[in-house]
Amino acid sequence: MIPGSFQYHRPTTVADAVRLLADLGEDARPLAGGHSLIPMMKLRMATPEHLVDLAAIAELKGIRHAGASIVIGAMTTQKELIASDLLTSALPIIRETSLLIADPQVRYCGTIGGNVANGDPGNDMPGVMMALDASYQIAGSAGTREVKARDFYFGAYFTALEPGEMVTAVSVPVPPAGHGAAYEKLKRKIGDYATAAAAVVLTKQGGRIAQASITLTNVGQTALLAEDAMAAVRGTSLGPDVLARAAAAAEAITDPASDGRGPAAYRTKVAGIMVRRALERAFARAAG
């Protein structure tokens, strides 16, 4: 289908973009890579009268150290995340996840800000950012603020963004040296959303898990923080029984829809399998 008619705006600063979004109100939507919004417009599930294209705003791009965190501009593309030596060394799970998003054509245009900001439960980065305990920097007419990824998602396409606000950057605390992380994703074909996926970030001490974060993707209305599964693995050396308990705890919080990716019961079981695999790979990667 063809999207409805709209007016196109291309600001060159965050201040101009925020001003446009505030002035145009609910009739306007920010446009990042467009891979979520444009398909929705084609299906007439979204009918904005104004598109505010963020592509010309230089301050929304780039990857840099900021104290104990790495800050990624919202308009940084998946391709740029993959190519970043800084992320490869400090936060390899981000590169690993980007390589599993869609296909190379999409990754050349798709942005981290677009992936995290619109609240699509099928997007990969929200769960990863929750596992990394990242925060989103947000700008609006009332000023700037920061919201934890774990507090940002309320429901499908329902987030902490207020009208006229936009995500400008993602701030990720650098995990301790020697941490282990993994993202496991099952999908039907290249370019598809996950049937189910899991992210794990952990540290070890004396051969046992000292800290762990576990999140799930596309098996609920939002990415899910699997707190009971996290508790099940802490202090353990991750034997078969622990893996089984963690998988069961993760499965218990899922609520997937039955769709073309499979019936709900199947997708729930896949979520448990992804948790097992991600835990095993993250544990093997971690020092200590």
Domains of the chain in start order, with CATH, are 7-52 (3.30.43.10), 60-173 (3.30.465.10), 184-285 (3.30.390.50)
Q: pTM for the whole thing?
A: 0.95
Strand order from edge to edge, sheet including 28-31 = 7-9, 50-53, 28-31
Q: Give the pLDDT of residue 26.
A: 87
Residue type, 178: G
Q: How confident is the model at residue 279 (pLDDT cuts 50, 70, 90)?
A: very high
Q: Among 31-35, 83-87, 131-135, 157-161, whose mean pLDDT is lowest?
A: 31-35
Say how far apart CA 277 and CA 246 lie, in whole Å.
11
Please list the residues that pair with 118 across neighbouring strands. none
User: Degrees (nearest 5) of the Cα angle 110, 114, 118?
Assistant: 140
Q: Is the pLDDT of residue 263 over 80?
A: yes
Interatomic CA distance for residues 61 and 84, integer angstroms: 13
Q: For 224-236, how does the pLDDT look when each residue is reduced to its tens digit (9 = 90+)?
A: 999 999 999 999 9
Which residues make Cβ contacts (< 8 Å) with residue 259, sequence separation at least 6? none
Q: Give residue 23's pLDDT.
A: 93
| pLDDT given at position 62 | 97
Closest CA to 107 of 125, 93, 91: 125
